[in-house]
Amino acid sequence: MTSNITTGDGTQAGTTDGDPSLCPRYLGSIDLGSDGECAWVEPPQNGECTWFNDTCADGYKCTALGECVELAFDPAGLYESCTQDESYQDDCERGLHCYGDVCVMNCQCSIAEPHCALEETACIASGCLPPCDPFHPECPGNLVCDFTFLGFRCLSSGPPSPGTLGDPCQTGQQCLGALVPAATCFGDISASYPASRVPGCTDDYGCCMELCHLSDGVCSRPDAVCLPLYEYPEIADCFGDIGGCLLPQ
């Protein structure tokens, strides 16, 4: 059925052809009423939802600011490209949010006890992020394989820069200029080793460190040894055979 679109002030704005997505979207939600014409639908109150517990009404999703906003007409799915504005509204499907330039699944349960329903993903920055291999990195969109305390994960690390081994850094994306099989930014308060253990490092926060395989222990610098990335076995297991080329004590 073809029906005229009637806006909130009674003016005509085209036809719906029975498709509610053709209704104008402003000042609230508009959908097809029982007569086939566009009708106002009051949105739920803002500030009463979280990514961990999305209590928004059907057709809405929760933003990072705890606001219920309308879903996009054709929302993007998991790991598909997305856009986000300054108010954290994005065009991802409900249960997902725009991270970097791709849709990732929201963490569930609570901030204190985050949980990811998606197998093998881990909750980092309120998003369920997939694992990756820094020696053979494959990440969706512009995400990069970076170092975290939960193993190597596909992260949004900002623009790349040509940092080399020993250069100061804050993300692994800043170490892409290192001429070794794989490198990452290493050395912060949560790590087992201070940044000073990275050969050539003079920065307190972190420096570009060469990665290695614990099984063969090969490092490009003769003064470095291949060590587990953490001293604690229960954490070191997250990294498998991957170690870091560090100065011995």
Q: In Å, how far are 10, 87, 199, 217, 247 from 222, measured between CA atoms?
A: 79, 50, 10, 11, 10
Can you list the alpha helix ranges (DSSP code H) found in 91-236?
233-236
Strand, coil or helix: 172: helix
* pLDDT at 105 (0 to 100): 94
What DSSP assignment string belongs to 7-49?
-TTS-EEEE-TT-GGGS---SSEEEE-TTSSEEEEPPPPSSS-
Higher pLDDT, 137 or 95: 95
Give the C-alpha separation, 37 to 17, whole Å. 10
Please list the helix, strand and coil fractions of the chain in percent, rounded to the nearest 5, in that order: 5, 35, 60
Give the C-alpha separation, 58 to 227, whole Å. 51
Can you list the alpha helix ranges (DSSP code H) found in the chain?
233-236
Domain segments of the chain: what residues? 4-41, 45-130, 141-246
Give the C-alpha separation, 151 to 35, whole Å. 55
Q: Does 20 score more than 60 pLDDT? A: no
Give the model's confidence band at 209: pLDDT under 50 very low, under 70 low, under 90 confident, else very high: very high
Which one, of 157, 175, 154, lies nearest residue 165 by Cα? 175
Give the model's confidence band at 6: pLDDT under 50 very low, under 70 low, under 90 confident, else very high: very low
* pLDDT at 230 (0 to 100): 82
Token pair of 249, please?
Answer: 């004590």
Q: State the amino acid at position 24 in one-letter form.
A: P
Beta pairing, strands 68-70 & 60-62: antiparallel
Rounded to two decimals, what is the model's pTM?
A: 0.72
H/E segment holding residue 104 = strand 102-106
Give the model's confidence band at 9: pLDDT under 50 very low, under 70 low, under 90 confident, else very high: very low
* pLDDT at 66 (0 to 100): 86
Q: Does 35 score more than 70 pLDDT? A: no
